[in-house]
Structure 1
Amino acid sequence: MNKFYSNGKLLLTGEYVVLDGAMALALPTTYGQSLNVESINEPKVVWQSFDKNGNIWFESEFIIHHDEIINQVKTGSAESEQLLQILNAVKQINPLFFNYEKGFHISTKLDFPKNWGLGSSSTLINNIAKWTKVDAYKLLKLTFGGSGYDIACAQHNQPITYQVKNDKRIIKGINFNPKFSDYLYFVYLNKKQNSREGIAYYRDNVSTTKEAISEISDITLKIIDCTSLNEFESLINRHEQIIASLTKQETVKDVLFKNFKGSIKSLGAWGGDFVLITSRENPSNYFKSKGFDIIIPYENIILNHKKKPY
């Protein structure tokens, strides 16, 4: 059996504008997804996906033909059609990988709830790419699209800066361990945000300026070097203002948490998944009173986090 694993992701800075060349700060998470592969003697792919509790949430079978992989079930689910697209994209990149003399039994397992938006798609893409020996970024481009920062997180075990310039990715592992991390939390907004819809909205409605891209990149660098919680809050507040102005959307704090004392920053496409909050006292009661029960301390979700005295 071959086993593969990829990290989940959170995008701390650069949402939307990373698509246009801004430098983003991205954080691999302690949560991710595994993929196990067993060879079988039939020309088909038998697929089972397990949730974090070990329950099957998706399964399907695909017949392997010489020129393409064809879904065995003609009226497949949306997930089945999506997986079929990925497998055929693999065959497009690496035509020799799937032959019609043998097949595979595949099982995947998430170690986070699949509606959390931590990268169920990007971890799947990266795992499949590792298994089939194709370029994960090419596979992403042929399937889900996006900037690729989530693939970079899947492949790195430490925080990174991520930037695309002249169609080239610039990825740097960095030492990002905020001294004030005890005052940072991630709150789940009770709904999964569709990244592709967010990208489509941005492409159709936003004209990004060079000044905005430059300022977001500057904020990213300042956040990396930041040693003060007050400064950090000022930086993420300014970041929220810039993105709100570009996308003509209200900030999540204005929409949901106007009377919260700390700062709140959206992560990734606005409107769902997780937000980052700052709070000098335990914020659980405030958010639970508003119906948001998943509040995770920074150190419990960010991979390779090492506490520093503050």
Structure 2
Amino acid sequence: MQHEFYSNGKLLISGEYAILDGAKGLALPTKYGQSLQLKATDTGLLHWKSFNANGKQWFESQFDLPSLEVVLNQADQTTEMLQQILRSCKVLNPDFLTSEKGLSIETHLTFPKDWGLGTSSTLINSIANWAKVDAYKLLGLTFGGSGYDIACAQHNQPLNYKLGPDGPEVELVDFNPVFKDQFFFVYLNQKRNSREAIVKYRNTKTNKSHLVETIASITSQMITCSQLSEFEELMTVHEELLSKVLAEPTVKSQLFGDYPGEIKSLGAWGGDFVLVTGPETYHDYFRNKGYSTILRYSEMILGQ
């Protein structure tokens, strides 16, 4: 037996934080992702190895089958999380990992772990495919979150994502702006813990229903607008709205106040990538400030 699964990475263009309360967000799957490869063995163990984008192993653990008791790296936090994921799969599908004599598993990222493109969500989605369980339910039993990253892992085109009363609602959309050559992504040189950011958002006191309605409107307008200036205005309104809710300065006002284009946070504020507008000649502005990881829209987004 040999199987391979692959899941796309993600970027949330609109709706960060508010998507947790039912706002409609625009999400884009990336060209970067993570694969999961399985091979049958006769060891009686599930032997797991994970590799980074450079092909260097960064994690290894072993579990007894079928108990999933840890037999290697017992005090390792990553091992404990992986064990939780696998055991959650057995809750959702009691037939999972009941008859295997042994398994060798490798995961391979195609992007640096600290980029924030979905190291966890790509893993959850691929394991769910392997275990034949609902990836959104598996996410809920493990890392938590809105689930938009799972939608990106599963689809190969832009999408609207919303948490409805009956669960996730995914609508594939035609987001292909004529001015996309004026988009690029800059990495802020630090990874932000999304779970901590979510806790902070949950503790804010604001009119969430108004926030949800406003963000949903911005998302719809972003998809249909035909002028870069209009899109930039929507970016600014979105940033200012979330700045008030989170009581945090926008990334542009905090770090790039003299930049002539517009800048928008993506996902948890204060880390990972930001969306920037402007011609390629503007890339040097960020390089001169020490931000060397800059990707054009066509380099980052799947299907471009």
TM-score, normalised to structure 1, is: 0.95
Structure 2 counterpart of 1:308 = none
Identity of aligned residues (%): 50
Give the Cα separation in 1 of the matches to 2:166 and 2:257.
39
Q: Match for residue 45 of structure 1?
A: 46
Amino acid at match of 1:236: M
Does structure 2 retain, via aligned residues, the 8 Å contact 1:6–1:127?
Answer: yes
> What amino acid is aligned across from residue 162 of structure 1 in structure 2?
Y
2:130 aligned with 1:140, yes or no?
no
For residues 253-272 of structure 1, what are the structure 2 equivalents within 5 Å?
253-272=252-271
Equivalent-residue separation in structure 1 for 2:82 and 2:167 (angstroms): 27
Once the two structures are TM-superposed, the CA of residue 151 in structure 1 deviates from its matched residue by: 0.1
1:1-310 superposed matches below 5 A: 1-65=2-66, 68-73=67-72, 75-99=74-98, 102-305=101-304
Following superposition, the deviation at residue 64 of structure 1 comes to: 2.1
Report how far residue 167 of structure 1 moved: 3.6
Kept after mapping to 1: 8 A contact 2:3/2:38: yes
CA distance in 1, matches of 2:280, 2:102: 54
Indicate if the aligned counterparts of 1:42 and 1:101 stay in contact, CA closer than 8 A: no
Question: Moved runs in structure 1, 4+ residues, more than 4 A?
Answer: none
The residue identity in structure 2 corresponding to 1:35 is L
**One-letter amino acid matched to 2:44:** P
Contact 1:43/1:99 (<8 A) preserved? no
Greater shift after overlay, 253-262 or 20-29? 253-262
Q: Once the 2 structures are TM-superposed, how far is the Cα of residue 51 of structure 1 from its aligned partner?
A: 1.0
CA shift in 2, pair 1:21/1:60, >3 Å? same
Letter in 1 for 2:20: L
What SS does structure 1 have at the residue aligned with 2:7? Answer: strand
Deviation at 1:165, TM superposition (A): 1.6
Query: Separation in 2 of the partners of 1:11 and 1:181?
Result: 16
Relative to structure 1, the CA distance from residue 101 to residue 109 in structure 2 (aligned partners, 3 Å threshold; closer, same or farther) is closer
Deviations, residues 31-79 of structure 1 (Å, cap 9, x unaligned): 00000001112332100111111111111111124xx411113633221
Match of 2:114, SS state, is coil
Q: Is the partner of 1:161 in helix, strand or coil?
A: strand
Tell me if the contact between 2:11 and 2:30 (Cα under 8 Å) persists in the aligned partners.
Answer: yes
Equivalent residue letter for 2:132: K
CA distance in 2, matches of 1:260, 1:297: 17
- Quick one: structure 1 residues 197 and 167, their matched pair in 2 at CA, closer, same or farther if it must change by over 3 Å? farther
Please give the alpha-carbon distance, in whole angstroms, between the structure 2 residues aligned to 1:46 and 1:287. Answer: 43
RMSD: 1.3
Distance (Å, rounded) in 1 between the aligned partners of 2:106 and 2:73: 22
Where does structure 1 lack aligned partners over 5 or more consecutive residues?
Answer: 306-310
Instruction: Encode CA deviations 1:254-298: one digit per residue, 9 max, x unaligned.
Output: 111111111000000101000000013522211011110011011
Residue 187 of structure 1 contacts residue 294 of structure 1 at CA under 8 Å; is this kept in 2? yes
CA distance in 2, matches of 1:76, 1:154: 30
Give me the whole-angstrom Cα distance separating, in 1, the residues matched to 2:196 and 2:166.
22
| CA deviation string 1:225-273 (max 9, x = no partner) | 0110000000010000111111111111111111111100000010100
Alignment check: 8 A CA contact 2:61 2:73 kept? no
Provide the secondary structure at the position in 1 that maps to 2:113: coil
Matched residue count: 303
CA distance in 2, matches of 1:96, 1:257: 53
